[in-house]
Homo-oligomer: A and B are copies of this chain.
């Protein structure tokens, strides 16, 4: 009952945002809730941050990327990636070597231990995605994918 406050009388003159119907706000809540749910799953078993998991997921899909390419694909900045990688390498979940033809670049891949963890976490993540989609009817699922395709900047664009 504590939340039953009436909108401020100032509404008329000030036109405040109605957050509960404001798309950016709703998307943010939804996204954070989902990401956190998945993070809770893997953090209950492994001491790993969301950024580290994201890096691992990219390396599972694309072997041998450089740090910059990981940053591109995760939409994280390069400093965040660099730090996540050094933790992952220290923890023995990622192997890092140097590119043959360009000694600036690193060549990254999951280690055996990294793969073991990946193979345990990935199904949990997929299960959460299914849980989410189960709340929708089949046609809603189709529309959602179509809408995301339209709203998301094309592959390869950066956000910041």
Contact = CB atoms under 8 A, between A and B. Distances in A.
Interface of A: 2-3, 5-11, 14-20, 22-36, 38, 54, 57-58, 60-65, 69, 72-75, 109, 115, 118-119, 122-123, 125-126, 128-129, 132-133, 135-136, 140, 143-144, 146-148, 150-153, 155-156, 159-160
Dominant SS among interface residues on chain A: helix
A79 B106 CA distance: 39
Given A22-B129, A30-B31, A31-B24, A64 B5 contact: yes
Contacts of A143: 140, 143-144, 147
Contacts of A5: 62-65, 69
Quickly give the copy total for this chain.
2
A15 B73 CA distance: 18
